[in-house]
Amino acid sequence: MARKKIWAYAIYNKEEYIKNKETNKERLFFIWEVIKMRKENPKELSSLTFMSTQSNKDKRAELTPVKKTKTAFFRYKSDSTTFTESHDSDSEYISHETAILVLSEMKKINFQDKDKNYEIEFDNIKKDDLQIKFEDGSIYYPDLVGFFSKPIELARKWGGKVAIEVKVTHKCSYEKIKDFQDHNIPIIEVSLSDKMRLNSELNNTDIDEDEMERYYNFLKSKFNNIVYMKILSNPIMLNEHKLIINKKNETIIKAIKEIESFKGQLAKETEKKESFESTIKEMKQEIFKLKESIDNTKHLNNSLLTQLDNEKNRAKSFNEKINELKLKDYESMNFLERFKRLFR
């Protein structure tokens, strides 16, 4: 299925390419600009020859603008032109091509995959000459290929490149994802929901150049804020693999050293524990002996108290007997002896 190109370069009076005054590079003409020019300034349009946008000028071919009721695009003027572009089912949609155009013009894209953000600063995003051929003969045409150096970690992991696919109705094939993964090429898929599509295209109604331009500006506004995507191929470059392995080895070596250090500390703590337990055992033995000594002392004290009580009782009994004897002796005395006793 032929790709509906919506951008082209232009040669003025068949002499030189028209340049962008700011960048001094070939200026892109959008299909809606050319359709308006056809209506408003046909003389200027007649002085322009539109060309395809391959980087190699020798491979470029003349294009002609086509406007139909429900679509508008640049078509190769010669039917014999060899196509080296995407022919997937989505490439016929204006929504698809406009999204590719908008993304290709961005320098920094804030991608979001579920709850994870990737802010990628691109050095260049290519939208032409994107044929990728593998050794088994498989040929693929990604919508875009971006080259970047930031963020550094992701650039190292992906080798500083990423294929970007725009999904409208047809998702990337399993074979394509597997081939890219096997060849260390990451793929980001940007999906256009119905709310993000060109209304006339979605509803199959007539389209005009003003609506196309409004849609282009709408996507620019949306994508400048955030671009929702899904990572389909997520390889790791060999050098990054080595770096990860080296970091893991360093982590393992550090962990082993920490374990050995912990073992040494554990041995010291075990030795302290054993010494402490030995001290506790000795203290328990001393306490046991002390308790025995206290018990013996108590027993001796009780014995002495008993003896003291016995001696007190004996003394009391002895005193009672003395007093009794004294009383008997006193009673046997005559009056004069009693009287004398009072003054002793």
Of residues 318 and 124, which shows the higher confidence score?
124
| Cα Rg, the chain, nearest whole Å | 52
Using DSSP's 3-state secondary structure scheme, residue 121 falls into: strand
| Nearest partner of 98 among 196, 9, 23, 203, judged by Cα | 196
Task: List C-alpha distances in Å: 260 to 247, 256, 271.
Answer: 20, 6, 16
* Band of residue 150 on the pLDDT scale cut at 50, 70, 90: very high
Q: What is the DSSP letter of 92?
A: G
d(CA 296, CA 306): 15
What is the mean predicted confidence (pLDDT) over 58-85?
Answer: 79
> What is the band of 227 on the pLDDT scale with cuts at 50, 70, 90?
very high
Name the band, by pLDDT with cuts 50, 70 and 90, for residue 68: confident
Q: How confident is the model at residue 22 (pLDDT cuts 50, 70, 90)?
A: confident
Annotated domain spans of the chain: 7-236
d(CA 68, CA 4): 12
Q: What is the pLDDT of residue 342?
A: 63
- Inter-residue contact 207 to 184 (CB < 8 Å): no
Decide if pLDDT at 242 tops 80.
no
Q: Give me 75's structure tokens.
A: 């078509």
**φ and ψ of 163, to 5 deg:** -85, 135
pLDDT of residue 90: 61
Q: 78-87, 216-225, 253-262: which range is least confident on average?
A: 78-87
* Mean pLDDT along residues 228-245: 85
Contact 18, 32 (CB under 8 A): no
pLDDT digits (tens, 9 = 90+) for 300-341: 888 888 888 888 888 888 777 777 666 766 667 777 776 666
pLDDT at 1 over 50: no
| Start-to-end Cα distance in the chain | 157
Return the higher-pLDDT residue of 155 and 1.
155
pLDDT at site 207: 85
- Among candidate residues 169, 167, 165, the one with its CA nearest the CA of residue 186: 165
Tokens linked to 76: 């190769």
pTM of the model: 0.67
- Residue 90, judged by CB atoms within 10 A of its CB (0-12, 13-18, 19+), counts as buried
Q: DSSP state, 51?
A: E
Sign of CA dihedral 202, 207, 209, 210: negative
CA 262 – CA 18 distance, rounded (Å): 73
The pLDDT, as a whole number, for residue 318 is 76
The residue whose two tokens read 């025995």 is 292
* Average model confidence (pLDDT) across the chain: 87
Q: 72: which residues sit within 8 A by CB, 6+ positions away?
A: 6, 31, 32, 35, 65, 66, 94, 207, 209, 212
The number of angstroms, rounded, from the C-alpha of 149 to the middle of its chain's C-alpha atoms is: 19
CA distance 109 to 223: 8
What SS3 class is residue 249? helix
Beta partners for 190? 166, 229
Ramachandran angles phi, psi of 101, nearest 5°: -60, -50
Average pLDDT rounded to a whole number, residues 109-118? 94
73-83: pLDDT as tens digits: 998 887 655 55
Q: Which of 203, 201, 210 is nearest to 92 (CA)?
A: 201
Is it the case that residue 283 has pLDDT exceeding 60? yes
Across 138-152, 254-268, 278-292, the highest mean pLDDT is recorded for 138-152
Residue 338 tokens read as 């009693």
Average pLDDT, stretch 63-75? 89
The predicted structure's pLDDT at residue 119: 96
pLDDT for 275 equals 87
**pLDDT tens-digit readout, 153-207:** 999 999 999 999 999 988 889 999 999 999 999 999 999 999 999 999 888 888 8
- Residue 122 pLDDT level (bands cut at 50, 70, 90): very high
* Spatial separation of the C-alpha atoms in residues 37 and 43, rounded to whole Å: 9
pLDDT for residue 21 is more than 60: yes
Going by C-alpha positions, the residue among 119, 190, 170, 175 that lies closest to residue 148 is 119
Percent of the chain, pLDDT > 70? 91
The answer, yes or no, to whether residue 259 has pLDDT greater than 80, is yes
